[in-house]
């Protein structure tokens, strides 16, 4: 989740999307696979559908919950800037 806002698109593909350690566990968190793959593949409709489902998981996480508003704002900034490029 945190690498989405910190890495550029090329680094995201190399370090997260294709990483075997990520692929092994990405199915355990609901909506996370669709969130990551639709962001990389520029499928914004499915991205925002997965993003809305993933927000409930972020709210339940005790480490990410205090930073929820910041994370939401930064992810939207990344997505909109990618869309405009």
Tokens 């939401």 belong to 72
Domain assignments of the chain as residue spans, ordered by start? 1-84
**Global pTM value:** 0.82
The 10s digit of each residue's pLDDT in 16-35 is 998 999 889 988 989 999 99
How far is the C-alpha of 11 from the C-alpha of 58, rounded, in Å?
A: 23
What Cα–Cα distance (Å) separates residue 17 from each residue in 34, 37, 38? 11, 7, 11
The 10s digit of each residue's pLDDT in 43-83 is 999 999 999 999 988 899 899 999 999 999 999 999 999 99
Compute the C-alpha angle 70/27/35, nearest 5°.
40
């Amino acid at each position: 989740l945190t690498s989405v806002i910190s890495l550029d698109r090329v680094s995201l593909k190399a370090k997260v999307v294709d990483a075997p350690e990520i692929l092994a566990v990405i199915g355990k968190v609901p909506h996370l696979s669709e969130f990551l793959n639709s962001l990389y593949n520029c499928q914004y409709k499915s991205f925002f559908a997965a993003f809305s489902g993933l927000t409930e998981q972020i709210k339940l996480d005790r480490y990410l919950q205090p930073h929820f508003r910041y994370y939401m704002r930064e992810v939207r900034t990344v997505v909109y800037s990618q869309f405009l490029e």
